[in-house]
Chain A
C-alpha cells in the first residue's frame, strides 16, 4: 500500500525533505505543506531532487500555504500538483498509512 508522506519544514533549513525523499518508495505521495511549500519553486538548489522524485512519485503542494508565502501555481516545478484543503483531506482518506516528517 502506497504511503502518504507529509513534509512541513523548509528544505533549505532542515533535512526532513531529504529524509523523506530517500525513504519514500515508488508510487507513494509526498505532500508539501507550511514552510515546506517553497521547496516546490522553480530554480532552487533542491529543484533537481524534486524533479527526480516527480518521475516515480506523486508530489503535491498545499496551494493556500504557497499563496500565503507570496507564490502561485505558475512558479512551481512542472509535475507538482497543487491541492486545496479538500484535496489534502482526500489524500489522507485515500491512504491508509500517513507519515509526517517533522
Chain B
C-alpha cells in the first residue's frame, strides 16, 4: 500500500427512497472505489434501512437500487459496519439485511462476509480512526 492511501468512511444515516441521500451516497462510494483508497461503509440510524433484504419497488415505481450494494465486494469495498443499537431500536436483526460478501483474492477467492455488527461506541471509535468521514 502506498503512503498516499487514506482511510475513508462513508456513514449512512438516512432511509432510502424517501429522500435521495442513500442513492447519492452509493454513487459516490462506487466512484471513490476508482481511486484505490481504503474505503469502509457504516450504516446507522435510519441508514440501516438502506440494506434491508427483499426490497420490492414494483408497487411504488421507484428504481430499486438495493442490488448494487451486493456489487460492493467487486469494488473491493468489504468493510461494512452495522450499528447494533440502530437495528434494535427499529425491531430489526442482521437477518433482515441483505448478505453482503466479497471474494478474497489472497485466499483462493473464498467468499467472506463484509458485514460487521458493531456497537454505537465501537462505531464512534472507528469513525475517530478515519482520515476522511463522509456522512449523509
Contacts and interface: CB of A to CB of B under 8 A. Distances in A.
A68 B59 CA distance: 7
Given A10-B46, A35-B46, A64-B60, A69 B15 contact: yes
Q: Which DSSP category, helix, strand, loop or mixed, fits chain B's interface? A: loop
A44 interface: yes
Contacts of B66: 70
B6 to A, nearest CB: 30
Contacts, number: 74
Interface residues of B, number: 26
A65 to B, nearest CB: 6
Nearest to B97: A70
Nearest to B17: A68
B136 interface: no
A13 B45 contact: yes
B53 A12 contact: no
A69 B91 contact: no
Q: How many A residues are at the interface, by size bracket? A: 20 to 34
B7 interface: no
Interface in B81-115: 89-92, 96
A35 B18 contact: yes
A68 B89 contact: no
A72 B58 CA distance: 14
Contacts of A63: 59
Contacts of B19: 35
Contacts of A47: 91
B90 A12 contact: yes
A68 B49 contact: no
A70 B52 contact: yes
